Amino acid sequence: MGEKAATSEVINRLVSALGDENPDVRSKACDALGKMGKTSATSEVINRLVSALGDEDFNVRRRACDALGKMGEKAATGEVINRLMSTLDDEDSWIRRRACDVLGNMGEKAATSEVINRLVSTLDDEDSWVRRRACDVLGNMGEKAATSEVINRLVAAF
């Protein structure tokens, strides 16, 4: 259904489901909002997905991260970017990988010196896939990330 289902009534019900006591319901609500993509990217939806990044359940955090990634630059607010940078410290390496990817999907808005520095520090992550994702994102940030410090860290990362 995806974007075709993105009526205000459906979106409101899914936002409400993000507060359900059952983590499977919260997870599926994140997934459904993500499938609606940019169409569902209202400030309320984005704020609730940012909150879901801190959920106790791994699947909820994972799907919230995925949903924000599918919303791309439309979700690229300062608050979202800051929360994604915090998510780079998640206990689960899969979520750290996705946080790198999502920051990369946010385009120019995420290509700030603060984000670049945070991704550079992620090159020390214990998980090689997280390090690879951080390298990919830094490489795609172009000129803003093409400093000698970043290049040296990328070379030393592997």
Query: In the structure, what pLDDT confidence band is assigned to residue 2 with cuts at 50, 70 and 90?
Result: low
Instruction: Check whether 129 has a pLDDT greater than 90.
Output: yes
pLDDT value, residue 144:
80
**Residue extents of the structural domains in the chain:** 1-75, 89-158
Q: Round to whole Å and give the CA distance between 97 and 140.
A: 15
Q: Which residues contact 78 (CB under 8 A, 6 or more apart)?
A: none
pLDDT value, residue 9:
87
pTM surpassing 0.85?
A: yes
Query: In the structure, what pLDDT confidence band is assigned to residue 141 with cuts at 50, 70 and 90?
Result: confident
Instruction: Average the pLDDT over each of 1-15, 85-99, 104-118, 120-134 and give the range with the smallest value.
Output: 1-15
Cα–Cα distance list, 4 to 10, 31, 110, 155 (Å)? 10, 15, 29, 45
Q: Do domains 1-75 and 89-158 have the same CATH topology?
A: yes
Q: What does the pLDDT average to over 5-9? A: 75
Instruction: Average the pLDDT over each of 27-41, 72-86, 136-150 and give the range with the smallest value.
Output: 136-150
Q: Tell me the pLDDT of the chain averaged across its residues.
A: 91
Instruction: Check whether 69 has a pLDDT greater than 70.
Output: yes
Instruction: Check whether 110 has a pLDDT greater than 80.
Output: yes
pLDDT value, residue 7:
77
Long-range contacts of 29-32 (CB under 8 A, 24+ apart): 30/60, 30/63, 30/64, 30/66, 30/67, 31/63, 31/66, 31/67, 32/5
More confident residue, 154 or 1: 154
Structure tokens at 26: 């919260």
Q: What does the pLDDT average to over 114-124? A: 94
Q: Round to whole Å and give the CA distance between 150 and 52.
A: 31
Query: What is 1-75's CATH superfamily?
Result: Leucine-rich Repeat Variant (1.25.10.10)
89-158: which CATH architecture?
Answer: Alpha Horseshoe (1.25)
Q: What does the pLDDT average to over 77-105? A: 95
